[in-house]
Amino acid sequence: MWAANPRLGLLVSGARLAPPIVRVPRLGWVVRDPSLIRALLVDHRSTSLLGEGGVGHLWSQVLGDWVDELFDGRGHHSLRTRARDLFTDAAARELVGPAAQPVVAVLHSRLRAGQPVDVADLARVLVGRIVVAMLGLDPAALAPGTGTTAGGHPSADGWDVYRHVFGRGEELAALALGTQSDTTLSDSTVEQARSILLELTAGVPEAYRSSPESTLLGRCRTLGVTEQEATGLASLLLVAGTETAASAISRTAALLADTGQAARLSAASGPHRDALVEAAVREGLRVTTPAPVIGRHVTDDVRVGGRRLRAGDRVLALTYVANTAPGALDLDRPYLPENRHLWFGAGRHLCLGAPVAREELRRMVGALADAGPWTVVEREPARGVLIPTYRRLVVGPS
């Protein structure tokens, strides 16, 4: 957390000692209590992700005001409703299974062969592969020059195109560093964001025209979502669906090793192993909470936790602080109703990709569990990034 962004480290540490909801000069309302966070996120009459303080404000400056309707207006409800079947648990299994298989195989076979492997790197490749498959993009069109052949088959070492997609998404998200106190972007930041997005979404028109309905862009076409809207949605997914999931994977792996619970996973088998993997997925998501802060703009006066929030105020919901308060990663920890899914937000913006993210984590943790005892041999945090994560997390047999 500190390496990613020292200001975030400071905010998180300070908030642990602060009241459940407190007004902080320049930041606005800082909320760390899970029930209050949930109450605010589900209160769509009084809060919005559009307007100063919300992530929609960032997107509308980069893509244009038209995204407001798609990200929090009637278009949002309509699109979520009509694309629902693409984001079920079953659809996530179908999507993630084939896209993850070669990556999981590398993780498993290297560890089995007694060789070290960088889980952080494989996590970046995995999430890149999945978002590209989900959208129906042609990997060759995404990063010309990285040596990937049409069809997404690896060239040199394999998956540079996905590393490239991830890296550009990470660069884009990093442009939002420092927006905790003001979500208004400078002209040059908007320009940089636009040029990254132009590159990342270069293959969208073709995928929109020709991808099957089982892909998100193909579905957009048949639903009558315009090409411009589909490009906005693709932009959102290329960022929202990559860094968060990769962070959860590598940090969960590190936490399993650091708390001595990796060995327990490796020793388990059958239904007990499956139950432990599920617990590791849930606890990993809770303890890492890869989106540590959710911002909102107050649209109507509202009372929360005994405080009066006024229209025009901004809110920083510290989900990381709320979710980590119950304690460290523990495979025996019972279900925590107060924190339920709060790592995926709440209300109408509850993470659309939650089943995909859980399946990605399940596959990687499952592969680690099946590869025999392992330990972390080398690690390096990522610096200057929006979503805290590891740059390198090398694991090897123990």
Number of residues that bind ligand HEM (CB under 6 A): 25
From 8, 15, 55, 257, residue interacting with ligand HEM (rule: CB under 6 A): 55
Q: Interface residues for ligand HEM in 168-227 (CB under 6 A)?
A: none
Measured CA to CA, the distance from residue 192 to residue 367 in angstroms comes to 38
**φ, ψ for residue 17, nearest 5 deg:** -95, -5
From 3, 80, 199, 377, residue interacting with ligand HEM (rule: CB under 6 A): 80
CB of 155 to ligand HEM, least distance (A): 25
356 lines the binding site for ligand HEM (CB under 6 A): yes
From 11, 142, 291, 321, residue interacting with ligand HEM (rule: CB under 6 A): 291
- Enumerate residues 6+ apart whose C-beta is below 8 A from 19: none
Nearer to ligand HEM, 12 or 248 (CB): 248
CB of 398 to ligand HEM, least distance (A): 26
Measured CA to CA, the distance from residue 170 to residue 175 in angstroms comes to 9
Binning the chain into helix, strand and coil, the percentages to the nearest 5 are: 55, 10, 35
Contact (Cβ atoms closer than 8 angstroms) between residue 288 and residue 255:
yes
From 248, 257, 277, 331, residue interacting with ligand HEM (rule: CB under 6 A): 248
Please report which helix (H) or strand (E) contains residue 117, including its range.
strand 117-118
Measured CA to CA, the distance from residue 265 to residue 273 in angstroms comes to 6
**φ, ψ for residue 123, nearest 5 deg:** -65, -40
Measured in Å, how far apart are the chain's first and last C-alpha atoms? 27
Burial zone of 14 (CB within 10 Å; 0-12 exposed, 13-18 middle, 19+ buried):
middle
Nearer to ligand HEM, 23 or 44 (CB): 44
Write the binding mask 2 to 41 for ligand HEM: x where contact by CB under 6 A, - elsewhere.
----------------------------------------
What is the number of the residue whose Cβ is closest to ligand HEM?
353
Candidates 173-181, 222-230, 252-260, 286-294; binding stretch for ligand HEM (CB under 6 A): 286-294
CA nearest to 328, candidates 234, 250, 260: 260
Instruction: Return the DSSP state at 185.
Output: P
Candidates 141-149, 153-161, 168-176, 283-291; binding stretch for ligand HEM (CB under 6 A): 283-291
CB of 326 to ligand HEM, least distance (A): 17
353 lines the binding site for ligand HEM (CB under 6 A): yes
CB of 345 to ligand HEM, least distance (A): 3
Candidates 57-65, 174-182, 297-305, 342-350; binding stretch for ligand HEM (CB under 6 A): 342-350
